[in-house]
Structure 1
């Protein structure tokens, strides 16, 4: 399996979980869904984005695939930056920031590595 296919399938799995069980997703990320009633709503938005990006990436070939992987890298960079900013502003705990930043950085590494390989 191509690394980007695995990454895309992972996105879909995270997205489905976020849509179906937003409170669980929040707790895994170290957030307290009871403290903020909007957490489930935001988790579902995140889930929908991940499903769409993952499904499109799995279905794409050639230049479209490269464009979607690049879009995924951009989204993951934004997610990582958001996690870092959240920790700096004390909006999320260090544990939550790590749970947000680590997978995003890992996805960036996989995406950039695949893009640099010249595959499509």
Structure 2
């Protein structure tokens, strides 16, 4: 199948497929005229890539995990699990930072509300 059909079947843009190829996440064969051609397995590959992106993984991280998919073994599985654990820890730290930021904003909002309340009490009615 050609790139447009793969894009339609996988629910992604042609641009995304080209990006995946640039990043080494997807490969195609080329016709004599240079057109990309894909197989049914590529639909599953793109769907898998989309799940990885939805999990917040970068292209670089996905590339690091692909040996587990392309050449499954205990070693590649262990390496992938370790890498995903690192990503999970990174996300957890980011979430903690966001919670602290939200709490700081909550404090600012409380200060603003208190200030507004004090303005109401000093305004003659």
If the length of structure 1 is used for normalisation, what is the TM-score?
A: 0.34
Higher helix share: 1
Q: Which has the higher contact order (CA 8 A, sep 6+)?
A: 1
If the length of structure 2 is used for normalisation, what is the TM-score?
A: 0.33
Q: Which has the larger radius of gyration?
A: 2
